[in-house]
Amino acid sequence: MSYRKWHEVSVERMKKDAKTASAYLKLALEEYEKDADAAALLVALRTVVEARGGIGTLSKATGLNRQTLYRTLAGQHSPRLDTLTTILNFCGLTLSLKPSKTHRFMGTGAAA
């Protein structure tokens, strides 16, 4: 009996179901919010990119530099916001924000 690696199974599932990819990245983002490990988040994004055709396909589809994408998605450096948005769009995802559970807004609401 041959066993497949978790990564291979995950990529295969993400190829078939965009919701799986979205859930995977949401979990990675939740972990990032706890531990601030940006490299792990970017590697998770790379897994989704792999399911969508890989870095070469991403580079051709978006015009982003292939070597920069390899370094970015390996967690070697942080992407600019526009680059991150482009990668997410390629993956069929968008960036959205929600209120923080741990930070309270300290404003009074009154104009000065």
Q: What is the dihedral of CA 68, 28, 44, 63, to 10 degrees?
A: -40
pLDDT in tens, 9-64: 888 998 988 899 999 999 999 999 899 999 999 999 999 999 999 999 999 999 99
Length of the chain: 112
Tokens 């960036």 — which residue?
Answer: 95
pLDDT at 73: 93
C-alpha 109/C-alpha 105 separation (Å) is 10
pLDDT in tens, 55-106: 999 999 999 999 999 999 998 888 999 999 999 999 988 888 888 777 766 6
C-alpha 33/C-alpha 37 separation (Å) is 8
The alpha-carbon radius of gyration of the chain (Å, integer) is 17
Greatest Cα pair distance in the chain: 71
